[in-house]
Amino acid sequence: MLNFIKKFAAKIWASQHIKKADMWKSRSVENQQKLLFEMVKTAEKTLFGREHDFENIKTIKDFQEKVSVADYEDLKPYIEKVKRGQRHILWPETPEYFAKTSGTTSGSKYIPISKEGMPFQIAGAQSALFHYIQKKGNADFVNGKMIFLQGSPELEEVFGIKTGRLSGIVAHHIPNYLQKNRLPSWETNLIEDWEAKVDKIVEETEKENMTLISGIPPWLIMYFEKLTAKTGKKIKILFPNLQLIVTGGVNYEPYREKMEELLGGSVDIVQTFPASEGFFAFQDDYQKEGLLLLTNHGIFYEFIPLELFGKPNAPRLTLKDIELNKDYAMILTTNSGLWAYSIGDVVRFIDKNPHRVLVSGRTKHFTSAFGEHVIAFEVEEALKATLQKIHAQITEFHLAPEVNPKDGLPYHEWFIEFEKEPENLEEFKNELERQLRQRNTYYDDLISGNILQKLKITSLKKNAFQEYAKSQGKLGGQSKIPRLANDRKIAELLEKYQF
């Protein structure tokens, strides 16, 4: 009886939530403009607001003229003041949290999350589940055990501001009605060593009634492989009531075939687009590609055409200006005090009613040593099309240029860890080459003009990418290895894992 009540209640909540969501979906452009002006007004008396004349911002054009696009290095002087306990710097008062992320040029980044911003991190995930319940008519998962593969929930304090990984922060905000069903245990979640942690998670979950599992694809695969190795069973046999997998962080498609093999049965997938800076989008339509952009969740969005990103006077477009099927660098202004912040993600709109996006890459993750500017979306789509024609299974890959080969012309080198190699690797390579040339005319011109020779594939041993990540201290729930590079720093380290 209790299980029936929980399912019934979940469906009612979902129905009510969808009605409210339908209202903001139809007014995204208006809501975005209103949101920007509300945030500017709120932060008018902060140090940042005074320095950028927020008091005289009356239009979006005013905002764009007074507030330049910024990256973390640009905002770091303000964030350092906040870290020292100063108030009213980027946002009124001090942040409720710092989400600590690993940076490159900046070292560790401290992303502020205000008391106004934190609820939207939780609401984004809840909305994804409510949309699933309403669209699928399925709330069975609320009665089973749920697991979230995440970082440690242990938080440190920086001048009184609680600081940790976003996933660890979110762990403190799981609704009470889900806490009893939630795994792993708090003690297991505190384990820092990722392999030891996953081993313990396997031990805690292998005999449970798992109905929902959440995490980024590479580490879901690691968890599933360990479960299968220990029990000898496919995941769907081990967890017959598994209803739903919620995933995000990277594009799911390149992992789909491997996941389906490990699962050994049908499980619904909901893809999401979260980050320390905000919860941006989730899959709301399971019949088509694309993620619903959350336009009323404390974030004002701007978009710079990718080919113009980083150039002087590059246009900053709002939702009313964007075009479909074009790549844009995404710029954020948030109710946690990030102003015209370049997050580094590249999106492609595939629908305007409502606004749906594909995450097509990273502004810093591309291959363009020869002017081709190949991006992640093109690479992943080329690989997907190749796998549809030539049977093989890929665990992970990395693409890097070889500018100065010992012999012949330069080329693109693909480092691929195959779960199942194609019967004819040369045929696979030629098809992959053909698919990529179809998607990137600049690359095609370089091949046709004998500037580049055709791509080469270097096959890597099993678990090569896990071993690489471990060697770099990046084996963990939220760590992601770039799939594209413009140099050979990662490639040189991957070479030692080849057959």
Reported confidence tier of residue 79, pLDDT bands at 50, 70, 90: very high
Distance in angstroms (rounded) separating the CA atoms of residues 347 and 377: 9
Distance in angstroms (rounded) separating the CA atoms of residues 444 and 434: 9
pLDDT at residue 105, as a whole number: 44
Distance in angstroms (rounded) separating the CA atoms of residues 352 and 121: 23
Give pLDDT tens digits for 272-327.
Answer: 999 999 999 999 988 888 999 999 999 999 999 988 898 888 999 999 999 999 99
Sequence-distant (6+) residues with CB within 8 A of 46 are 88, 89, 90, 91, 92, 337
- Segment 4-14 mean pLDDT: 72
- b/e burial code for range 275-288 (CB count within 10 A of at least 16 → b): bbbbbbbbbbeeee
The SS3 assignment for 127 reads: helix
Q: Give me the percent of the chain exceeding a pLDDT of 90.
A: 61
Tell me the residue type at 123.
Answer: A
Give pLDDT tens digits for 94-146.
Answer: 999 999 986 544 468 999 999 999 999 999 988 999 999 988 888 888 889 99
Instruction: Please give the model's pTM, rounded to 2 decimal places.
Output: 0.83
Distance in angstroms (rounded) separating the CA atoms of residues 55 and 139: 48
Pairing type for strands 278-282 and 355-362 reads unpaired
Least Cα distance to 246 among 273, 284, 210, 272 occurs for 272
Asked whether the predicted pLDDT for residue 63 surpasses 90, the reply is: yes
pLDDT at residue 302, as a whole number: 98
Distance in angstroms (rounded) separating the CA atoms of residues 264 and 13: 32
More confident: 315 or 369: 315
Cβ neighbour number for residue 320 with a 10 Å cutoff: 12
Least Cα distance to 285 among 274, 265, 301, 269 occurs for 269
Give pLDDT tens digits for 192-237.
Answer: 888 889 999 999 999 999 999 998 887 898 899 999 999 999 999 9
Task: Name the one residue in this structure whose structure tokens are 């009613």.
Answer: 353
Peptide bond into 92 cis (omega under 30): no
